[in-house]
Amino acid sequence: MTAYEIIQKKRDGRELSAGDIDHMVSGLLAGDVADYQMTAFLMAVFFRGMTAAETELLTRSMLASGLTIDTSSIDGAKVDKHSTGGVGDKLSLIVAPVAAAAGVSVPMISGRGLGHTGGTLDKLESIPGLSTAFGPEEFVALVGRVGMAIVGQSPDVVPADRRMYALRDVTATIECVPLIVGSILSKKLAAGLDALTLDVKVGRGAFMATRERGEELARALLATADRLELPAVAVLTDMDAPLGATVGNALEVVESIDVLRGGGPSDVRETSLELAAQMIDLGNAASDIEEARRAAARVLDSGDALEVFVRFVEAQGGDPRIVDDPSLLPRASITAPVISAETGSVTAIDSLEIGLAGVGLGAGRVRAGEAVDPAVGVVIETPVGASIGAGETLAVVHASSEETAARAVERVLKAFTIGGEVPPDGTRVLEIITQKQVSGRS
């Protein structure tokens, strides 16, 4: 089969063989398949989809394109959490130390922010001295010593994803379930995990705008992980409004520490504990999910999780004093309040708009590779459900210039909906989907 014939086969809706898929993936790296053939293929996949078998084969081919990290020297279960990305999503900074404090090893490979969604590596690098650039061996050693590590992707791991993602990014083929599944799971399998908790976000600020689409992605991820013998669970979480009160790198680190101290916004605490509990359960560090939930709350409230966090910061070269003295973190030179013109209740905060306001301030990037400003961002003072009077403060913008501040104030104001009716108290955790439910196995 040539690339032409494989494209044609997918175009016509026929099922691809292992050899077909491998020819496209390894051929792209070897130069036998041209970029312009790969993008036609990816668009055909967008329209035709992939069967469960094809998605598994795609993931396997992508995984085989690079190195797999050997985590066998780490004691106990290695469990990671992956989020599909959101606004104000600082959960990794809390979930990883909570799970590690409860006895699970967390080898977490994270990414950077792009567009309105933030990235864990950007947030962490706002901590003075902290590095996320470690090779596979150092990474494994860090997890063994601290119980967790959060690092960037090594270029030797799943190079096919790097090439394919760059092409998808410029050809409108990102939003395609089998391609998303292949991209996420190949990288997670390459990290030598025993199990994986998936945080699939749905809503305005998420990649999947509707719950239906989020469920579709979650089920495809779980089914493919099952075929690849990777135990996994998916938590569908609401991303209509920003998570917690802060959007911006250093601002989110401060909020994470607040939660690790037992305070902080309740939605961040609640969602972090559920995700950590699922990791603890998957890693068999508790007898069942209820015991895992209790263990997660216990290590958070006891300060054990905060202690792991301090050790993690120190191990990766960061200044651990930031935990007690947040003023050591970068701070914006300008703060500007966002003032309500109306009286009523906050009924919605558009997380997409808040995320884009953050990008405008320099907290995020439009293109991969751009630098971010660790200090800037948005702090929400009046969350969804709270009442507000005309002239009172909805949010505070942290900026590096009067000009970017003014633009962000305007955009953040528009993101708020003030109404008469207070929406019912919602939980962020919409649904938990297990692999058993998806695979139909008992």
Which residues carry out catalysis?
A: 82, 161, 168, 183, 187
Ramachandran category for residue 398: left, alpha or beta (phi over 0 → left; psi -120 to 50 → alpha): beta
| Per-residue tokens: 89 | 């999503």
CA–CA separation, 195 vs 205, rounded Å?
A: 27
From 33-41, 273-281, 383-391, 412-420, give the range in contact with a second copy by CB under 8 A.
33-41
Tokens 């590590």 correspond to what residue?
Answer: 149
From 38-46, 93-101, 177-185, 203-211, give the range in contact with a second copy by CB under 8 A.
38-46
Asked if residue 171 binds a second copy (CB under 8 A), the reply is yes
Question: 301: exposed, middle or buried (C-beta count within 10 Å: 0-12, 13-18, 19+)?
Answer: exposed
Residue 383's alpha-carbon distances to 41, 59, 288, 418, 440, in angstroms, are 45, 40, 34, 11, 40
User: Which residue of 1, 34, 366, 368 would you call a contact of a second copy, by CB under 8 A?
Assistant: 34
Q: Nearest distance from residue 173's CB to a second copy, in Å?
A: 7
Residue 7's alpha-carbon distances to 12, 61, 159, in angstroms, are 9, 17, 21
Candidates 258, 283, 284, 251; CA nearest to 272 is: 258
Type of residue at 226: D
- The residue (of 144 and 159) whose beta carbon lies closer to a second copy is 159
Q: Nearest distance from residue 1's CB to a second copy, in Å?
A: 12
Asked if residue 35 binds a second copy (CB under 8 A), the reply is yes
Asked if residue 172 binds a second copy (CB under 8 A), the reply is yes
User: Which residue of 16, 21, 24, 42 would you call a contact of a second copy, by CB under 8 A?
Assistant: 42
CA–CA separation, 207 vs 125, rounded Å?
A: 24
CA–CA separation, 167 vs 175, rounded Å?
A: 13
User: Which residue of 18, 141, 167, 339 would you call a contact of a second copy, by CB under 8 A?
Assistant: 167
- The residue (of 210 and 343) whose beta carbon lies closer to a second copy is 210
- The residue (of 49 and 383) whose beta carbon lies closer to a second copy is 49
Q: Nearest distance from residue 363's CB to a second copy, in Å?
A: 23
Asked if residue 14 binds a second copy (CB under 8 A), the reply is no
Number of residues that bind a second copy (CB under 8 A): 24
From 42-50, 96-104, 253-261, 282-290, give the range in contact with a second copy by CB under 8 A.
42-50
Q: Nearest distance from residue 12's CB to a second copy, in Å?
A: 9
Q: Nearest distance from residue 270's CB to a second copy, in Å?
A: 36
- The residue (of 36 and 76) whose beta carbon lies closer to a second copy is 36
Q: Is the separation of the CB atoms in 269 and 98 below 8 Å?
A: no
Candidates 288, 279, 233; CA nearest to 439 is: 233
User: Which residue of 83, 154, 173, 382 would you call a contact of a second copy, by CB under 8 A?
Assistant: 173
| Per-residue tokens: 157 | 């791991």
| Per-residue tokens: 148 | 């967790």
| Per-residue tokens: 76 | 């106990």
By CB under 8 A, name the binding residues for a second copy. Answer: 3-5, 7-8, 11, 34-44, 46-47, 167, 170-173
